[in-house]
Amino acid sequence: MKSLIFIGLLHYPVYNKKGDTVASAITNFDLHDIARVAKTYGIQRLYIINPFRDQKRLAQRILDHWLKGQGNIYNPVRARALELVDIVHSLEEAIQDIVERWGYRPKLIVTDAKMHSNCISYPAAREMLCEKDTYLILFGTAWGIAKEVMDRADYILAPIQGNSNYNHLSVRSAAAIILDRLLGDNR
């Protein structure tokens, strides 16, 4: 039996360049690219987590364009990905939504560009996801997920290593690579 897997894209609490805890702005391309990756890899829902009403309204307008407006006429395939998106104000609201609609409290897997002493490897995480369970994989925006959320995690995924010491992927690229490592067929 396969796990139920959810994704969250966290805009608060995250760090800015100076290490302050901030709320980041929603990026249009994050919605599109990550929703398309989510649809490709059989993810149940993509939660866009942002506490600001204006930001949530902007994201909803983008979604409405592609789900109900001209975007749906121009490219209906895009709608099949974007219909996975829910815009919520907090991580707690995302977790609560999963509990209410699917009946399970998800285990929290967080991602980070930094190595932590208790990281789980990709092969180990891939095997874990094959057991029947419920997981929320959390990606951070700006300069990464704040410690208070990292501390709540059940698992921390190892950072992505390419074959250089450059370690500054966009969250869109990181999400694509991570879901492929965990769920792709890797032919």
User: Residue numbers of the site for its own copies (CB under 8 A)?
Assistant: 17, 29, 32-33, 36-37, 39-42, 75, 77-78, 80-81, 121-123, 158, 160-164, 166-170, 172-174, 176-177, 179-181, 183-187
Nearer to its own copies, 40 or 60 (CB): 40
Return the H-helix or E-strand segment holding 54: helix 53-67
Of the two residues 151 and 185, which places its CB atom closer to its own copies in the complex? 185
Taking the complex as a whole, how short is the minimal distance between the CB of residue 151 and its own copies, in angstroms?
Answer: 23
Q: What are phi and psi of 45, to 5 degrees?
A: -145, 150
Whole-number Å distance between alpha carbons of 102 and 113: 30
Cβ-based nearer residue to its own copies, 93 or 180: 180
Q: CA–CA separation, 50 vs 33, rounded Å?
A: 18
Contacts of 46 (CB under 8 A, 6+ apart): 6, 7, 8, 9, 34, 35, 38, 84, 85, 86
Among residues 58 and 113, whose Cβ is nearest to its own copies? 113
Q: How far is the CB of 92 from its own copies (least distance, A)?
A: 29
